[in-house]
Chain A
Amino acid sequence: MKGTNIGEFEELVLLAVGLLYDDAYGLAIVAELKKQTGRNVSLSAVHKVLIRLEKKGYLSSYAGGATRERGGRNKKLYIMTSTGKEVVNQVKDLRNHMWDSIPKIVWDSK
């Protein structure tokens, strides 16, 4: 597990990239996070995390999808790499495992 720890926000971004599948670029992720979590996230924060995740090898990117709305500029589109997917899975497994290990009594007592 060591070395694959990622922060909560990183995890969210990673998940959003997966969720958006072939249209995962900065602004779309901002919108998605807003939709999913209700948080107002700044564009720069998302880009920062995207760059970091790409450096760590969890994401890869390609250019494409220039539109009029973007003043003719390319999007930087991200997809999860296999390590990225693995990390998301690990995180999920870890959570599930820990969640399952919580004794019943915790839920029963108020």
Chain B
Amino acid sequence: MTSPNPPRWITRFFRWFCNPEISDAIEGDLYEQFRYNVKYKGLRQAQFLYFWNVLLFFQPFAIRRNSEKSSKLIIIDMYRNYFKIAIRNLIRHKGISFVKIFGLAVGMGCTLLILLFVENQLSYDKDHQHRDRIVRLESESWVIMPPYLGETVKVFPEVENVVRFYFWYEPTLRYEENVFTIENFGVVDSTIFKVFDFDFLAGSAETAFYAPNSIVLTKSIAYRLFGSENPIGKTVLMGGQDRFTVTAVIDDVRKFHMDINGLVSTEDIARVMGSRDILTSRNFNWSIYLLLQPLVDKEGLIAKINERAVEVDQYGGVPLILRDFNDIYFARNLAHEKNTKHGNINLVIAFAAIGVLILLIACINFINLTIAKTRTREKEIAVRKVTGAGAPSIRNQFFGETLIVVIISFALSILMAYLFMPTFNYLVSEQLQLQNISIEMLLVFVGVLLFTVFVSGIYPSIYLSRVSALSILKGRFGKSGKTAVLSRLLISFQYAISIFLIIATITVNRQLSYMQNKDLGFSNEQILTCRMKGDKFASGRDNMIASKAAFTQRLTQNPNVKGVTFLNQLPGKITNTASFGLTEEDQAVPFRVINADPSFLDLMDIELLYGRNFSDEIQSDMDTKLIVNEEVVEVMGLENPIGTILIQGSNRMEIIGVVKNFHFNSLHQRIEPSAIVWDWWTTRACIKLSGSNLNQTIVNIDEIYREFSPGVGFEYDFLYESFGRQYEAEKRLEKIVLSFVILAILLSCLGLFALTAFVAEQKTKEIGIRKALGAPTTAILWLLSNNFIKWVLVANVVAWPIAFILLRNWLESFSYRIDLGIWVFVGSGVLALLISFFTMSFQGVKSALLNPVDSLKYE
């Protein structure tokens, strides 16, 4: 009889995994079943069923136990014991365990938040597949460009595509009853989606600007406008008259250096706007991005572009440059950008550094307390060793304990990060979310976690696994000072960090208040600024002069308005430059030029040193006369400045007055040679108000403004505020540093506190005996703290030079800065000492006041 056998490999597989005690009987059953199936269901099916039934046996009840049952049980019992001991130890030393877990949780929570922030900042502009080939066309002095340069560069074969952005238009959109104005509305070339990648939720990159009068909206705008209806194909009324059809919806634009809420194409807007042609060469408002062919020599290209630009130009001959798209987000001090967000790479670095420091402090606490506690575990280790534990199993035990604590802390740190997320988001002005963390960052974080476990666990585990059981049991162990030195070293390191942070906080703080209180040379208080718009201020010299005079006259009827002056650029943002020389051949000196009028000096409280102000009576003062600052006199070496003729191109300008230097730009920059000229085409009104009833005055100004600039919303700002905004990065730095410094010091104190408490506990007997022999409380206090204080002093020595070098570098980024006073260093050291002393005396006094009878009864 040649009936088939089941496939051998399946049988072998079965025998491999099955518990030998039952495998024989089951195999018999399987075999019998197979034979039966072959007979009634055919070979193939029988084979399949055989395989299937074998697989069904792959369950715990049938799987072979790997090693002998008994040894396995012992290992499990051992781990269970480790776990039990670990938990019992945590509970027994509640204070220390709290400090360990809480400290570590705070450290890890900070790291988590900081990682989120760093990731968020570094991920800006990264979602664009061509990002390495995209550049932005800028000039050396400013970012925005006239539109025709886009066309000029398009002809170069190196340039694959060009897209121009124009953010000036804030249209109202209407759909049925929903009407609102949308900001960050981009007028762009239809090539945008060939250069940049956006997430299309509906519609596609190809069809978005295919048809005329198309509009692309972001998700939230589409939702505001259409609610839950499908936006695609809907018609919106833009600016009250033009119909646009929604062709695509993109996801909200977040990690991009521009804020974008909606897009329409240049062609459509140019057609719709008709008379006010946005594409005229005078419209310096465009940001131009180029997508280059792969491997283009950028230096060569920009040289060619510059040559070409001079030929086509009208354009002022300021050299053009290409800025890599990847560099835009972290670029600093760019002038005249539209609608652009920037990150501060220094802030990111400072942040990461602080995060590392705090985690380090937490780790040190952890190590110190673990080492301190291991002293109480020596006997346990000795007994374990006597009963046969080897060094590896002791090591495992202590790593395991560390792991348990770290895992508890980790859970706590997530909770903390979650709770503090809103505060943190406010500090860094971002919208971070815990669940948005990326896989990479999570891996980094797990790395940090393992690092913590390793660093904190390695010392105790190695130290304890090496000790000899005999010496412990004989009571000889633990007299060596090695561990004590290590933990003191770590403490002083911890204090060095704290001292450094205190010095840094004080210095940043002083520099900021210095900048805010420095005599700027002009007054920016109570000055309201707004921009005049509309036909009356659009064209023609006479027209504009008349409008401004009328506007001024109407305003000054209000007794709370002290004066009005018109500028072309606001203080803090003066970028207009021109070069002046004494003769035509002379080497010209670049001046900052402020285009103003006669009331400017009075309104801003700028002191006139000699000469005279512009006069309304003297017509020739306009266009041909200059008022300069002291810096000009010094740089050009003018002995008798009044009446000197300066030459700028074909213009000859006469100096009629000299004013005291004033800080019109950020204090990061030096005072530059500056000139004030009287011009008629200035449109930024600066209105000086006087004290009382500010709101009423603003309402009044609003009314008058609407008369003169009908149909334009009244938007105003206060000069003091807009001027202060230049220091926003520093202010934020101050807040962040301050909050983390407090945290760091708190953590250090906590560690020290727990350690003193522990030492006091260890020395209970000694203290008792000393007291019994008549030692005063102060002596006991000294006994407990003198060692630590010595090491806190050492910490100063470490912290000072580092703080000095780093802070001097930071201060060098300011042209006007404070000196690093020695008292800051000494003060911080004393502060750290005082803090640590108070921390320790808290515990010290407690044990010093203990009745010696009680302490001697101990044990």
Chain A residues with CB under 8 Å of chain B are 25-27, 30, 42-45, 47-48, 51-52, 63, 66-67, 69-71, 73-76
Is B56 an interface residue, CB under 8 A from the partner?
yes
Least CB distance, A24 to chain B, in whole angstroms: 12
* Contact status A51-B61, CB under 8 Å: yes
Known: A47-B62, A69-B32. A74 touches B25 (CB 8 A): yes
Contact with A along B15-46 (1 / 0, CB 8 A): 00000001011111111110100000000000
Residues of B477-535 whose CB lies within 8 A of A: none
- The SS class assigned to the B binding surface is helix
Least CB distance, B63 to chain A, in whole angstroms: 11
Known: A42-B56, A44-B56, A45-B56. A74 touches B22 (CB 8 A): no
* Contact status B62-A70, CB under 8 Å: no
Least CB distance, A37 to chain B, in whole angstroms: 18
Question: Which B residues are in CB contact (< 8 Å) with A69?
Answer: 31-32, 35
* Contact status B56-A73, CB under 8 Å: no
Having A44-B57, A71-B28, one finds 17 other A-B pairs with CB under 8 Å, namely: A26-B29, A43-B26, A43-B29, A43-B53, A43-B56, A44-B53, A44-B62, A47-B61, A48-B61, A48-B62, A51-B61, A66-B28, A69-B31, A70-B28, A73-B25, A74-B28, A75-B28
Q: Which 3 A-B pairs have the closest CB atoms?
A: A73-B28, A76-B25, A44-B56
Question: Which A residues are in CB contact (< 8 Å) with B31?
Answer: 69-71, 73
A67 to B29, CA, bound (A): 11
Question: Which B residues are in CB contact (< 8 Å) with A74?
Answer: 24-25, 28
Question: Which A residues are in CB contact (< 8 Å) with B67?
Answer: none
Contact with A along B33-76 (1 / 0, CB 8 A): 10100000000000000000100110101100000000000000
Among A42, A45, A66, A70, find the residue whose CB has the most chain B CB atoms closer than 10 A. Answer: A70
Question: Which A residues are in CB contact (< 8 Å) with B27?
Answer: 71, 73
Known: A27-B32, A69-B35. A75 touches B25 (CB 8 A): yes
Least CB distance, A74 to chain B, in whole angstroms: 6
Least CB distance, A60 to chain B, in whole angstroms: 14
A17 to B59, CA, bound (A): 23
Of all chain B residues, the one with the shortest Cβ separation from A55 is B61
Of all chain A residues, the one with the shortest Cβ separation from B11 is A71
* Contact status B28-A44, CB under 8 Å: no
A66 to B57, CA, bound (A): 22
- A selection of 20 A-B contacts at a CB cut-off of 8 Å is A25-B29, A27-B32, A43-B26, A43-B29, A43-B53, A44-B57, A44-B59, A47-B26, A51-B61, A69-B35, A71-B27, A71-B31, A73-B27, A73-B31, A74-B25, A74-B28, A75-B25, A75-B29, A76-B22, A76-B25
Question: Which A residues are in CB contact (< 8 Å) with B61?
Answer: 47-48, 51-52
Question: Which A residues are in CB contact (< 8 Å) with B24?
Answer: 73-74
Question: Which A residues are in CB contact (< 8 Å) with B5?
Answer: 71
8 Å CB contact of B25 from A30, A52, A63, A67: A63
Least CB distance, A77 to chain B, in whole angstroms: 9
Least CB distance, B232 to chain A, in whole angstroms: 53
Least CB distance, A34 to chain B, in whole angstroms: 12
A27 to B35, CA, bound (A): 12
Question: Which A residues are in CB contact (< 8 Å) with B25?
Answer: 25-26, 63, 73-76
Least CB distance, A48 to chain B, in whole angstroms: 5
Least CB distance, A33 to chain B, in whole angstroms: 14
Least CB distance, A15 to chain B, in whole angstroms: 19
Of all chain A residues, the one with the shortest Cβ separation from B61 is A48
* Contact status A43-B28, CB under 8 Å: no
A5 to B522, CA, bound (A): 93
Question: Which B residues are in CB contact (< 8 Å) with A75?
Answer: 25, 28-29
Of all chain B residues, the one with the shortest Cβ separation from A67 is B32
Question: Which A residues are in CB contact (< 8 Å) with B28?
Answer: 66, 70-71, 73-75
Question: Which A residues are in CB contact (< 8 Å) with B29?
Answer: 25-27, 43, 47, 70, 75
Of all chain B residues, the one with the shortest Cβ separation from A45 is B56
A45 to B58, CA, bound (A): 11
Of all chain B residues, the one with the shortest Cβ separation from A68 is B1
